[in-house]
Amino acid sequence: MDAALLTPDRAKGDVDALARLAKADMAAVDALIIDRMQSQVPVIPLLAEHIVSAGGKRLRPLITVAAARAAQMKAGDADMAAPLKLAAAVEFIHTATLLHDDVVDGSERRRGKVAAHLIWGSATSVLVGDFLFARAFELMVETGTMRALGILAQASSVIAQGEVLQLTRAHDLNLDQETYLRIVSAKTAELFAAAAEAGAVGAGADEVVVVALRNYGLNLGLAFQLADDALDYGGSSEALGKNAGDDFREGKVTLPLLFAVARTRGREDAFWDRTINKGQRLDDDFRRARELIIGTGAVSATLDAAGAYADAAKAALSVLPKSDWRAALESLADFAVSRAA
Amino acid sequence: MDAALLTPDRAKGDVDALARLAKADMAAVDALIIDRMQSQVPVIPLLAEHIVSAGGKRLRPLITVAAARAAQMKAGDADMAAPLKLAAAVEFIHTATLLHDDVVDGSERRRGKVAAHLIWGSATSVLVGDFLFARAFELMVETGTMRALGILAQASSVIAQGEVLQLTRAHDLNLDQETYLRIVSAKTAELFAAAAEAGAVGAGADEVVVVALRNYGLNLGLAFQLADDALDYGGSSEALGKNAGDDFREGKVTLPLLFAVARTRGREDAFWDRTINKGQRLDDDFRRARELIIGTGAVSATLDAAGAYADAAKAALSVLPKSDWRAALESLADFAVSRAA
């Protein structure tokens, strides 16, 4: 993507500072994940390992760990027992939704590998998703923190509702921006918010810190999702971790598309109606959609919106004591948007 | 089925005594179910209502309510607040597994209606199942009873494992009886056990009563499932609530089949190998399978096994104080088997 599309004074940020700080904690989370995905039914750990070990950045459990550390600062290992289990539970919930999503969308790839349902079948993918979801709750019960359980149970029901809403509205050009943001908040940002909030609660943080970290997570999740949406038209496949153009090829309505449709009203209506509403897409259509979306400034406007959410995420942290953890969380918010540059 | 196949002194039992006693409690559970399946995403309550209102006997939440009542006897309404929520949660978990099962098995009917996935699609069925599962945990969190949460979280992971095990082994004539009972314990009896145990825990019962009620539920669940398996060959479709012969037509290995295969070894191996292992079933094969299964006494032997579990269920209740509730639970155990006569 053209770097000039980015507001020039946007900070770069990175995820590495946080990953370095959290290295020992995340090793403990990984050990928990491996331990709790075991089962005497042989196919379960096989399938679970396929998707869990592909792993990605483990962003959500990383946020739970960082929230707990940033909230209590001088935590000894004993104080991290609950947050570490909650972090593993967050990753299990996320993995369960990925397994179900891939069945629902018929996706062929996930985390750079063949999607699990294409290897073991949709039935097994659905049931192993259920298993991981149940295991997430078993882990939470072990922490004895009812409030954290409530946070993640509610997040799970919000996510499922967001998925259904997306399923019924995703190919609808009449989707308004408010409904689009409602979908994104529910299906993506809610788990970031719950991951941060649960980490704070698990660490026994003060109420003002709990609220701040939930707020941070919600805005961070929105920033990540909007930057992803922009990358799908403006970025390279490497930066995205999936193929650029997938959203368009699936006829999925996202914010850059909505901006471009509004900005080309009266002259490109037939193109959008054919490719999105009617789902009749030709080989060359993505190139044209990309031109329209970048040319009308829709990618840039989406990144501006993402940047505003990243700023809100950083601002939410101001009530926390200054620490390396807080700085790393701030840098992560910048990274959410700058990786799309 | 020929009544002579039943051991003559087996008690009849019924479910009506329990349903009458629990009428007011179950009305409260139903109100909770309706309230908590609501969502601002319109298709969710529609689909949920389709399967929830078909309802059946609501056997599992009935057991939760009855366990709580039998455990505390003189319970005023206030004491039932937690058990009623746990009962609604149990029904949500059960409904979620039914939605996912029907997608997994490609079943066409459920509770006398067209299966939800044939109306709203598999994707929506999977996601609404996830939603109901999450809502179950939200309800449990409201009770503040961490132990009940742990019981139902563990049951959920056991059920999912049982489903996967069945998926990989259900059409395998080499399935041994032990593995068959492991599947049935996990995918059916575990939720009966957890429903009863959670009810007792929610009512604040003594440990000896909690253990007794879990034991009752587990044995009751096994009795119900084995009687269902027998009915599929020996009963009428009305008694079964689904079509007799479905298990055979799906090539599903159950206890009566395993008994008959063992008892016809050396003379019917080719028939079983073709119809079950190879899955090549002709129109007239069910008639022949039914003759072999009844003729070798396999239905009767399965009902004897079911009867033994029903007796164990009743025996488990002996540590509870005598009450109308205890008597109704005993009668339910007899009913589990006698309805197959």
Tokens of A124: 């097994």
CB contact under 8 A, B126 and A149: no
Residue B111 has pLDDT above 90, yes or no: no
Task: Name the pLDDT band for B24 (thresholds 50, 70, 90).
Answer: very high
Say if the Cβ atoms of A168 and B41 lie within 8 Å. yes
Q: What is the pLDDT of residue B5?
A: 47
**How confident is the model at residue A54, as a pLDDT?**
76
Under 8 Å between Cβ of A13 and A335: yes
How far separated are the first and last CA of chain B, in Å rounded? 6
Nearest to A85 by CA among A36, A127, A125: A36
For residue A336, what are its two tokens?
Answer: 């959410």
Tell me which H or E stretch contains A17: helix A16-21
- Range with top average pLDDT, A66-80, B169-183, B255-269: B255-269
Q: How far apart are CA B144 and CA B135, in angstroms?
A: 15
CB A52 within 8 A of CB A33: yes
Q: What are phi and psi of B109, to 5 degrees?
A: -130, 155
**A128 neighbourhood in chain B, CB within 8 Å:** 160, 164
Query: A-chain residues within 8 Å CB-CB of B105?
Result: 123
Helix (H) or strand (E) holding A257: helix A255-263
Closest residue to B130, CB basis, from A40, A128, A160: A160
Contact (CB, 8 A) for B222 and B190: no
Residue A245 to chain B, least CA–CA distance (Å)? 23
Give the nearest partner residue to B100 out of A39, A104, A130, using CB atoms. A130
B47-66: pLDDT as tens digits: 999 988 876 789 999 999 99
ipTM above 0.95, yes or no: no
CATH class of B8-338: mainly alpha
Q: Is the Cβ of A291 closer than 8 Å to some Cβ of chain B?
A: no
Distance CA B227, CA B242 (A): 13
| Strand, coil or helix: A256 | helix
Mean pLDDT of the region A318-335:
96
Q: How many CB atoms lie within 10 A of CB A226?
A: 30
Looking at the predicted structure, is the pLDDT value of residue A74 above 70? no
**pLDDT given for residue A210 in this prediction:** 97
Region of poorest pLDDT, from A215-219, B173-177, B258-262: B173-177
How high is the pLDDT of residue A237? 54
What is the pLDDT confidence band of residue B12, given thresholds at 50, 70 and 90? confident
Cβ of A138 within 8 Å of Cβ of B127? The answer is no
Answer whether residue A142 shows pLDDT above 90. yes
Give pLDDT tens digits for B298-323: 999 999 999 999 999 999 999 999 99
- For residue A103, which of B163, B132, B125 has the smallest C-alpha distance? B125
Q: How confident is the model at residue A239 (pLDDT cuts 50, 70, 90)?
A: low
Query: Which residues of chain A from 53 to 112 reach within 8 Å of chain B, CB to CB?
Result: 96-97, 100, 103-105
B284: Cβ–Cβ under 8 A, 6 or more apart, which residues?
none
The proportion of chain A whose per-residue pLDDT surpasses 90, expressed as a percent, equals: 76
CB–CB contact A134 B144 (8 Å): no
CB contact B46 to A (< 8 Å):
no
User: What's the fold here for domain A14-338?
Assistant: Farnesyl Diphosphate Synthase (1.10.600)
pLDDT of residue B1: 42
The shortest C-alpha distance from A130 to chain B (Å) reads 6
Q: What is the pLDDT of residue B73?
A: 65
Compute the average pLDDT of residues B4-18. 72
Interval B125-172: pLDDT, tens: 999 999 999 999 999 999 999 999 999 999 999 999 999 999 888 788
pLDDT over 70 (residue B197): yes
- Tell me A188's DSSP state: I
Which among A43, A103, A167 has the least Cβ separation from residue B164?
Answer: A43
The stretch A69-78 carries a mean pLDDT of 75
Q: Are A163 and A173 in contact (CB under 8 A)?
A: no
According to the per-residue pLDDT averaged within each range, which of A66-80, B117-131, B241-255 is highest? B117-131
Q: Where are the domains of chain A?
A: 14-338
Q: Enter the tokens of residue B229.
A: 């398996």
